[in-house]
């Protein structure tokens, strides 16, 4: 009898646990509420969306204009785009913005803020303290995210900026990599020579 009770309790506990955890960690972004008028799309709850992700309305707007390829403007709580757009189209771009500029890639929480480190924007997590540069194009990082950078290894990166000393700057996940002798916009293979925290140094690798 005692054994049965224990198993029943365990089963009960297992059923309850994931639900409770999931509920607590859920991060809700309101769904896009829009209407279209001819070639104009009005997102009625743009203000609520921005508030839920705790970012500047102009930042999200600039991102959406770029990603949707359409001009737009903010009018109070509303956002207006000068083309006919669907809910899914806008929601997928908002999700992309959130993945890049809001979610901590370490602990997956949205409790973050952006800080400037020179010319690089850094996402700082208030929950776990992780830091990572933002604005990284997924195509260049997908195969190498999450794994820690290793000195001596070779990575393919895009030079996103030039530092004050003339070195090219690339980013992989949370790392900023300085690579001398490279030009902005070029894609190079870099051999990492050393790593200090989230900052790494490397040289162009020639096969």
Using CB under 5 A, list all residues that contact Zn ion: 104, 106-107, 125, 127-128, 130
Q: DSSP labels for 88-119?
A: HHHHHHHHHHHHHHTS-TTT--S-EEEEEETT
In the block, tokens 């993945």 appear at 99
d(CA 203, CA 119): 21
Nearest to Zn ion of 68, 134 (CB atom): 134
Nearest to Zn ion of 128, 199 (CB atom): 128
Q: State how far Cα 59 lies from the chain centre.
A: 13
Closest approach of Zn ion to the CB of residue 115, in Å: 14
Nearest to Zn ion of 44, 108 (CB atom): 108
Closest approach of Zn ion to the CB of residue 26, in Å: 16
Closest approach of Zn ion to the CB of residue 105, in Å: 8
d(CA 73, CA 58): 9
Cβ-contact 65, 78 below 8 angstroms: no
Nearest to Zn ion of 85, 103 (CB atom): 103
Q: DSSP labels for 121-140?
A: EEEEETTT--EEE----HHH
What percent of the chain is helix, strand and coil (3-state, nearest 5)? 30, 30, 40
Nearest to Zn ion of 90, 104 (CB atom): 104
Closest approach of Zn ion to the CB of residue 112, in Å: 7
Closest approach of Zn ion to the CB of residue 36, in Å: 38
């Amino acid at each position: 009898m005692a054994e049965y009770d224990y198993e029943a309790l365990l089963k009960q506990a297992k059923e309850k646990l994931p639900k409770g955890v999931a509920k607590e960690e859920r991060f809700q972004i309101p769904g896009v509420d829009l209407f279209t008028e001819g070639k104009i799309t009005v997102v009625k709850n743009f203000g609520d969306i921005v508030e839920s992700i705790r970012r500047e309305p102009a930042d999200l707007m600039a991102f959406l204009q770029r990603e949707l390829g359409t001009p737009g403007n903010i009018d109070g709580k509303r956002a207006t785009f000068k083309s006919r757009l669907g809910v899914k189209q806008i929601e997928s771009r908002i999700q992309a913005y959130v993945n890049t500029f809001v979610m901590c890639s370490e602990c997956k929480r949205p409790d973050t803020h952006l800080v400037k480190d020179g010319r690089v924007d850094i996402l700082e997590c208030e929950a776990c303290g992780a830091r990572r540069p933002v604005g990284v194009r997924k195509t260049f990082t997908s195969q190498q995210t999450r794994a820690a950078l290793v000195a001596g290894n070779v990575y393919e990166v895009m030079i996103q900026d030039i530092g004050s000393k003339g070195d090219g700057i690339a980013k992989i996940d949370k790392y900023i990599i300085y690579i001398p002798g490279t030009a902005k916009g070029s894609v190079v293979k870099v051999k990492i020579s050393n790593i200090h925290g989230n900052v790494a140094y490397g040289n162009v690798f020639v096969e």
